[in-house]
Amino acid sequence: MAEAQNDFSDDDVVRSVREGHVRDFEILVERYKRKIVNFIHKMIFDYDEAQSLAQDTFIKVYQAIPKYNSLDNFQSFIFTIAQNTTLNYIKKQKHIQFFSSFLSPGEENNHFRAADNQYELMEKDQQDEIVSTALKKINENQRLALILKVYLDFSYQQIAEITGWSIPKIETLISRAKSNLKKQVHHILKIS
């Protein structure tokens, strides 16, 4: 199956993997790796961690394949796992930042500073940097909703499937995200 990968739907490949053809899982990795790496990267803005969390996501997807219901959308299934993996990582980072702020006061946002440097090495464009810096500063649920809607161009229905949130909640989160992002961009421009 791996040779003629474009001829098969996600569900066909999942069925084949379930039947024991582990190598066919490669087709799904090839199909989604770019989207997943970029989705995670836009949530955390750290190149190395995005690659690592995306790898974890695919391993979790493989392990969760027995639970996948073919009535669901496979893309939503994989993005739900990517979203949970990323939000758990962000939560852990918050704990680390909280405790490290006691150990070394005045050195907040070390993690993001390191990520900033990496991001700068990859992309020099200053406007992208302003947008990404502002994105990092908004609440993670607002950021998640905005990335799914604006960056990945998902419908409200797809976002609801991925996140488990109601459509009115998603609309509220996106509206707040937009407002806060605008404020952050203003703030960054003022202090620069």
Partner 1 sequence: MDIDEDSDMNPIENSTGLELLEQVMAGVKELPEIEPRPDFTRQVMFNIKEKEKLGRFVFPSLILTPFQLIFSPFQKLGLQGILQGIYFTRNREKK
Q: Which residues form the interface with partner 1 (CB under 8 A)?
A: 22-23, 25-26, 29-30, 33-34, 37-38, 41-42, 47, 50-51, 54-55, 58-59, 62-63, 122-123, 125-128, 130-132, 134-135, 146-147, 150-151, 153, 178, 181-182, 185-186, 189, 192
Alpha-carbon dihedral 112, 117, 119, 125, rounded to 10 degrees: 120
Question: Minimum distance from CB of 156 to partner 1 (Å)?
Answer: 16
Question: Minimum distance from CB of 176 to partner 1 (Å)?
Answer: 13
Question: Minimum distance from CB of 178 to partner 1 (Å)?
Answer: 6
CB atoms within 10 A of CB 121: 9
Nearer to partner 1, 34 or 92 (CB): 34
Nearer to partner 1, 13 or 135 (CB): 135
Helix spans in the chain (H): 10-18, 25-44, 47-64, 74-103, 110-122, 126-137, 140-146, 156-163, 167-191
Give the integer Cα–Cα distance in Å for 110 and 97: 8
Question: Minimum distance from CB of 28 to partner 1 (Å)?
Answer: 10
Nearer to partner 1, 160 or 188 (CB): 188
Nearer to partner 1, 109 or 126 (CB): 126
Question: Minimum distance from CB of 43 to partner 1 (Å)?
Answer: 11
Give the integer Cα–Cα distance in Å for 65 and 46: 28
Structure tokens at 66: 């027995």
CA 176 to chain centre: 19
Nearer to partner 1, 57 or 80 (CB): 57
Give the integer Cα–Cα distance in Å for 49 and 151: 19
